[in-house]
């Protein structure tokens, strides 16, 4: 069972829509995932840069205290889930240990107590770790709490270096391939003495020089000190542009694939429709050519039957008349066969042109007389060749057939009186010399929408109610095929009701 073309086209369109929809859904999901990962990487870069800044301070403290004493910092958790930071300073065998305690709650720390204890005051690290693991679902959370605890102890000995942190963060972002312009702020959050309102102080500002955040800017912050509520805040433009640049390869590949699929489906539908049209044209051609082949055979058969069976051969006048009828019908039949054979010429691998110098007047003059004689209407054909001895390098037989087809069309598609002009001349274009042959008429003309198709095989221009115009849709196809095999071109200008003008061009050698 054959599906109608419209259903095939509908299935193709639905398939394309499904593919496009799934591709858009997948790309949207990928965009969101990459954006989330990028935001997570920025936050992680802020944390790692803070950790590296602490290492820089510790190295400075160790270098400074080699001459004056030793400094040690440790952190842990007790049974109640409180985090403690112990910092010890030993100066000339005099030890001072400071113990600070904090409670972990909702990723923030509130200071509980500060006290001075003896050197033997130690934290129960293993019990505190168990409490941490019970309160935190991941090891990442534990690492952040430990880092903040160490931060609080280290800040007692040396204040954070915002300049160092800014440079470390910039290097880290570049290392992670996050080329953003940003503003970095060192903030301190607190409450008034009655805990009635919260305030935020900007301790320092850095980041990309000259960058001013817009109203669409987004912020990411990292609270590095649990005891003082100190925060690093990074403000930058929305990350959509960076994500799209990172997805450029995927987007380009997806677009190319979609374009290839779209073109393939379009070409499939176009081929199906053209095949359908071609089948209809072939069917019309078969019907027409069958009728046309039978007509000369039947006429020639009737003429020979009259000569053989009805003693018409005894009358010289009638004998000559019937023989001429047979001759004309056989010539007509030969022309039909030649046109049928021309259908496969463009596919013949062994096809060869027999080129020679041909005088155009030798071909055109007899052709004009033949078309005047066989026309069933008054025909006037003018011929102008400049110079008169103009020649062209071509296959004589095929050039004759091409010009004959053009003249035949000019006569057929003229009105009651055919007025045709044939002109030949030399012309130059782009430093090349061409022989130009023009056949123009004052017939019914060709509609603009039909012009792109008149050289297609089996195509016939609709003639409305003019059923007397016969043809097979092969003449102009043959002309175009042969002129191209000669290395030439053909073009047409036409306007309905005013006639047509066909121009052949062959390069002068």
What confidence tens digit (pLDDT) does each residue in 246-276 have?
899 999 999 999 899 888 888 888 888 788 7
The whole-angstrom separation of Cα 87 and Cα 109 is: 18
pLDDT of residue 460: 72
407: exposed, middle or buried (C-beta count within 10 Å: 0-12, 13-18, 19+)? buried
pLDDT of residue 279: 78
Reported as a single tens digit per residue, the pLDDT across 357-406 is 999 999 999 888 878 877 778 889 999 998 889 999 998 888 888 898 89
Least confident of 20-24, 63-67, 470-474, 487-491: 470-474
pLDDT of residue 108: 34
- End-to-end CA distance of the chain: give it in Å, rounded: 57
pLDDT of residue 456: 80
Q: What percent of the chain has pLDDT over 90?
A: 22
pLDDT of residue 123: 39
pTM, entire model: 0.48
Element (H, E) at 401: helix 396-412
User: Which residue carries 């510790």 as its tokens?
Assistant: 58
Per-residue tokens: 246: 């990172």
The residue ranking higher by pLDDT, 460 or 500, is 500
Q: Is the pLDDT of residue 437 over 90?
A: yes
Q: Is the pLDDT of residue 96 over 60?
A: no
Per-residue tokens: 397: 């037989």
The whole-angstrom separation of Cα 165 and Cα 171 is: 10
Q: pLDDT band at 88, cuts 50/70/90?
A: low
The top-scoring range by mean pLDDT among 59-63, 232-236, 313-317, 370-374 is: 232-236
- Backbone dihedral region of 104: left (phi > 0), alpha (psi from -120 to 50 degrees) or beta? beta
For residues 41-50, average pLDDT? 91
The whole-angstrom separation of Cα 118 and Cα 248 is: 62
Is 430 in contact with 487 (CB distance < 8 Å)? no
pLDDT of residue 350: 61
Pairing of strands 94-105, 108-117: antiparallel
Least confident of 35-39, 150-154, 353-357, 492-496: 150-154
Q: pLDDT band at 197, cuts 50/70/90?
A: low
Closest-CA residue to 408 (of 360, 476, 359): 476
Please give the sequence-ordered ranges of beta strands (E in DSSP) within 226-263, or none if there are none.
Answer: 230-236
pLDDT of residue 223: 84
pLDDT of residue 94: 45
pLDDT of residue 134: 52
Name 399's Cβ contacts closer than 8 Å, sequence gap at least 6: 358, 363, 392, 482, 486
Least confident of 56-65, 382-391, 479-488: 56-65
The whole-angstrom separation of Cα 38 and Cα 245 is: 12
The whole-angstrom separation of Cα 14 and Cα 20 is: 10
The whole-angstrom separation of Cα 416 and Cα 418 is: 7
Closest-CA residue to 147 (of 78, 41, 52): 52
Is 69 in contact with 157 (CB distance < 8 Å)? no
Is 421 in contact with 440 (CB distance < 8 Å)? yes
Domains (range + CATH), the chain: 66-238 (no CATH), 248-342 (1.10.287.130), 352-507 (3.30.565.10)
The whole-angstrom separation of Cα 495 and Cα 475 is: 20
Please give the sequence-ordered ranges of beta strands (E in DSSP) within 195-319, or none if there are none.
Answer: 198-207, 218-225, 230-236
Name 39's Cβ contacts closer than 8 Å, sequence gap at least 6: 220, 239
Per-residue tokens: 285: 């051609």
| Mean pLDDT over each residue of the chain, to the nearest integer | 77
Reported as a single tens digit per residue, the pLDDT across 307-351 is 787 776 778 888 888 888 888 778 767 766 766 666 565 555 567
Q: Is the pLDDT of residue 469 over 90?
A: no
Measured at the alpha carbon of residue 225, what is the angle toward residues 219 and 229, in degrees to the nearest 5?
A: 70
Per-residue tokens: 402: 């091409």
Q: pLDDT band at 104, cuts 50/70/90?
A: very low
For residues 446-462, average pLDDT? 80
For residues 434-439, average pLDDT? 94
Q: Is the pLDDT of residue 501 over 90?
A: yes
For 267, phi then psi, to 5°, come to: -65, -35
Q: pLDDT band at 115, cuts 50/70/90?
A: very low
Q: Give helix 248-309 / helix 5-65 axis angle, nearest 10°.
A: 160
In this structure, is the dihedral angle defined by the CA atoms of residues 142, 145, 151 and 156, taken in order, positive or negative? negative
Pairing of strands 418-429, 379-386: parallel
pLDDT of residue 282: 73
């Amino acid at each position: 069972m054959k599906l109608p073309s419209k259903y095939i086209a509908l299935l193709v369109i639905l398939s394309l829509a499904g593919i496009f929809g799934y591709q858009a859904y997948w790309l949207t999901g990928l965009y969101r995932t990459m954006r989330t990962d990028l935001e997570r990487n920025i936050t992680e870069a802020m944390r790692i840069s803070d950790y590296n800044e602490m290492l820089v301070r510790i190295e400075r403290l160790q270098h400074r205290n080699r001459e004056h004493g030793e400094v040690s910092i440790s952190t842990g958790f007790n049974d109640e889930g409180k985090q403690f930071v112990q910092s010890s300073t030993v100066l000339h065998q005099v030890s001072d240990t400071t113990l600070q305690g904090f409670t972990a709650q909702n990723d923030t720390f509130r200071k509980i107590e500060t006290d001075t204890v003896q050197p033997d005051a130690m934290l129960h690290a293993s019990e505190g770790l168990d409490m941490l693991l019970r309160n935190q679902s991941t090891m990442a959370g534990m690492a952040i709490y430990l880092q903040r605890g160490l931060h609080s102890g280290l800040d007692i000995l040396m204040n954070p270096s915002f300049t160092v942190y800014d440079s470390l963060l910039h290097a880290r972002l570049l290392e992670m391939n996050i080329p953003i312009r940003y503003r970095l702020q060192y903030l301190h959050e607190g409450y008034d003495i009655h805990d009635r309102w919260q305030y935020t102080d900007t301790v320092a500002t850095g980041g990309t020089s000259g960058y001013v955040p817009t109203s669409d800017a987004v912020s990411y912050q990292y609270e590095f000190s649990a005891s003082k509520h100190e925060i690093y805040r990074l403000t930058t433009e929305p990350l959509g542009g960076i994500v799209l640049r990172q997805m450029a390869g995927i987007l380009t590949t997806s677009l190319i694939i979609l374009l290839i699929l779209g073109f393939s489906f379009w070409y499939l539908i176009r081929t199906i429709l053209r095949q359908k049209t071609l089948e209809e044209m072939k069917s019309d051609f078969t019907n027409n050519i069958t009728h046309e082949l039978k007509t000369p055979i039947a006429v020639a058969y009737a003429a020979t039957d009259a000569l053989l069976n009805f003693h018409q051969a005894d009358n010289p006048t009638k004998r000559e008349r019937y023989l001429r009828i047979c001759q004309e019908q056989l010539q007509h039949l030969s022309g039909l066969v030649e046109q049928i054979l021309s259908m496969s010429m463009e596919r013949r691998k062994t096809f060869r042109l027999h080129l020679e110098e041909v005088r155009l007047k030798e071909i055109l003059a007899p052709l004009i007389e033949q078309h005047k004689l066989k026309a069933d209407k008054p025909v006037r054909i003018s011929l102008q060749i400049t110079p008169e001895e103009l020649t062209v390098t071509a296959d004589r037989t095929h050039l004759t057939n091409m010009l004959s087809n053009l003249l035949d069309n000019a006569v057929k598609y003229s009105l009651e009186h055919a007025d045709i002009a044939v002109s030949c001349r030399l012309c130059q274009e782009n430093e090349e010399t061409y022989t130009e042959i023009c056949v123009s008429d004052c017939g019914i003309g060709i509609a603009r929408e039909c012009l792109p198709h008149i050289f297609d095989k089996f195509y016939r221009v609709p003639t409305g109610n003019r059923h007397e115009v016969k043809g097979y849709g092969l003449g102009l196809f043959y002309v175009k095929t042969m002129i191209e095999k000669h290395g030439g071109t053909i073009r047409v200008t036409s306007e309905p009701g005013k006639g047509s003008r066909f121009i052949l061009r062959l390069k002068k050698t």
